[in-house]
Amino acid sequence: MSYCWPMPPICSTTFEGQFYDQIFPPSFFGELSDLMGIAQNAPNLSALRQGHYQAFSEFVTGQIEQRNFQSLKAENTRLDRVAKDADKLLQSLTALYDFGQTQGKLKRAVESNPTSFTSSNGHRLASLLDDTRPDNPFFIIKQFVSDISISAQRAKITTPKQSAGLPKSKEGDFDLAAIEALVCDRDLALSGDDAADLPRWKEQSEAHKLGGDHALLQFVKCFKTVWVALSPHPFTQGHYYEKIGHEPSRTLAALKLCFASFAPEINPQAIVTAIRKVQAG
Both 121 and 166 in a single domain? no
**Of 160, 164, 154, which is closest to residue 198 (Cα–Cα)?**
160
Closest CA to 90 of 133, 142, 50: 142
Q: What is the dihedral of CA 210, 215, 219, 224, to 10 degrees?
A: -30
Residue 270 φ/ψ, nearest 5 degrees: -65, -40
As a whole number, the mean pLDDT across the chain is 82
Helix (H, G, I), strand (E, B) or coil at 241: strand
User: Over the stretch 176-229, which tens digit does the pLDDT of each residue have?
Assistant: 666 555 555 544 445 556 566 666 656 666 666 778 899 999 999 999 999 999
pLDDT of residue 131: 86
Q: 137 and 78, same structural domain?
A: yes
Residues contacting 166, CB < 8 A, separation 6+: 174, 179, 188
Treating both helix axes as pointing N-terminal to C-terminal, what angle do 139-155 and 72-95 enclose, rounded to 10 degrees?
Answer: 160
C-alpha span between 221 and 77 (Å, rounded) = 33
Distance CA 113, CA 185 (A): 37
pLDDT at residue 102 tops 50? yes
Q: Which helix (H) or strand (E) holds 30?
A: helix 26-36
- The CA-atom distances, in angstroms, between 40 and each of 4, 10, 156, 184 are 9, 18, 50, 58
- In the chain, the number of structural domains is 3
Give the three-state DSSP class for 209.
Answer: coil
pLDDT tens column, 47-83: 999 999 999 999 999 999 888 887 888 888 999 999 9
Tell me which DSSP letter residue 9 carries: P
Q: If you compute the radius of gyration of the chain from its CA atoms, what whole number of angstroms results?
A: 28
Tell me the residue range of the domain where 44 lies.
Answer: 2-68+211-280
Distances (CA, A) of 233 to 92, 116, 237, 254: 65, 58, 12, 12
Looking at the fold, whether 102 and 140 belong to one and the same domain comes out as: yes
Q: Could you report the per-residue pLDDT of 108-118, keeping only the tens digit for each?
A: 999 999 999 99
Query: What's the CA gap between 160 and 203, in Å, rounded?
Result: 12
215 and 202 inside one domain: no
**Which range (33-47, 66-80, 93-107) has the least confidence?**
66-80
pLDDT at 187: 42
Please report which confidence band the pLDDT of residue 107 belongs to, taking 50, 70 and 90 as the band edges: very high
One domain, residues 79 and 151: yes
Task: Let me know whether 225 and 186 are in one domain.
Answer: no
What is the per-residue pLDDT across 139-161, written as a single tens digit (0 to 9) for each?
A: 999 999 999 998 998 888 776 66
What are the backbone angles phi and psi of residue 199, rounded to the nearest 5°? -60, -35
